[in-house]
Amino acid sequence: MFLLILAEGSEWLEQYFNYPGLEVWKFVNLTIFAAAAIWVLRKPIGAALLSRRAAIQQELLDAHNERERALAQVTEANNLLSRLDDDVRMVGEQAKQEAKAERERVAAATAAEMEKLKLQAQRDIERAAKLARKELRQHLANRSIELARGSLRSRIRPEDDTMLIQENIGDLRRTTV
């Protein structure tokens, strides 16, 4: 309004205020309206801006915490990956040691089994030799008896045979009486 009053008194102001396409009074009117709107809406807008600010700060804090958790997980994953090579190497070495121990155990078990089989074969051989000697002795005894009978039959005379029979009968009578 003040500008309108000034504009009536001075020609050159009127020239600028009413310049076609650049009517300054429209800008002045807009400024007054904006100032009144700001004055009326300043408390609700301020409260909304404060709550928005708090929400943004909370989101930033949550994002920061999430980032820290993610970094911790990445660090843990990197530690696990760095230990993975060591773990793989240790498992390989342990597998080699277990395989070596198993080979040694199998070799020892094989040697023990071979010794056991050798002893068993030795006993079987000794038993077979003993049996063979026994059968040979039996055969030789039977053959000796046959030869002795044959020799006695060819040498014995009928009188000697009768005398032997008489002696055997006499021995039988004495044992029964």
> In the predicted model, is pLDDT for residue 4 greater than 60?
no
* Mean per-residue pLDDT, 74-86: 85
> In the predicted model, is pLDDT for residue 9 greater than 60?
no
> Is residue 14, in this structure, part of any structural domain at all?
yes
- HSE-up (13 A, CA, CB side) for residue 119: 5
pLDDT by residue (tens digit) across 31-41?
A: 999 999 888 88
| Number of domains within the chain | 1
Say what the pLDDT of residue 20 is: 64
Q: Can you give the length of the chain in residues?
A: 177
| 138/145 Cα distance (integer angstroms) | 10
> Is residue 22, in this structure, part of any structural domain at all?
yes
Say what the pLDDT of residue 1 is: 46
Say what the pLDDT of residue 117 is: 93
> Is residue 6, in this structure, part of any structural domain at all?
yes
* Mean per-residue pLDDT, 3-12: 53
Structure tokens at 3: 């500008």
Q: Which domain holds residue 23?
A: 1-56
> In the predicted model, is pLDDT for residue 153 greater than 70?
yes
CB 46 within 8 A of CB 54: no
> Is residue 21, in this structure, part of any structural domain at all?
yes
Average pLDDT over all residues of the chain: 84
> Is residue 150, in this structure, part of any structural domain at all?
no
Residue-by-residue DSSP string for the chain: -HHHHHHHH-HHHHHHHEETTEEHHHHHHHHHHHHHHHHHHHHHHHHHHHHHHHHHHHHHHHHHHHHHHHHHHHHHHHHHHHHHHHHHHHHHHHHHHHHHHHHHHHHHHHHHHHHHHHHHHHHHHHHHHHHHHHHHHHHHHHHHHHHHHHHHHHH--HHHHHHHHHHHHHHHHHHH-
Of the ranges 129-138, 142-151, 160-169, which is most confident?
A: 129-138
> Is residue 102, in this structure, part of any structural domain at all?
no
> Is residue 130, in this structure, part of any structural domain at all?
no
> Is residue 24, in this structure, part of any structural domain at all?
yes
> In the predicted model, is pLDDT for residue 25 greater than 80?
no
pLDDT by residue (tens digit) across 82-123?
A: 888 888 888 989 999 999 999 999 999 999 999 999 999 999
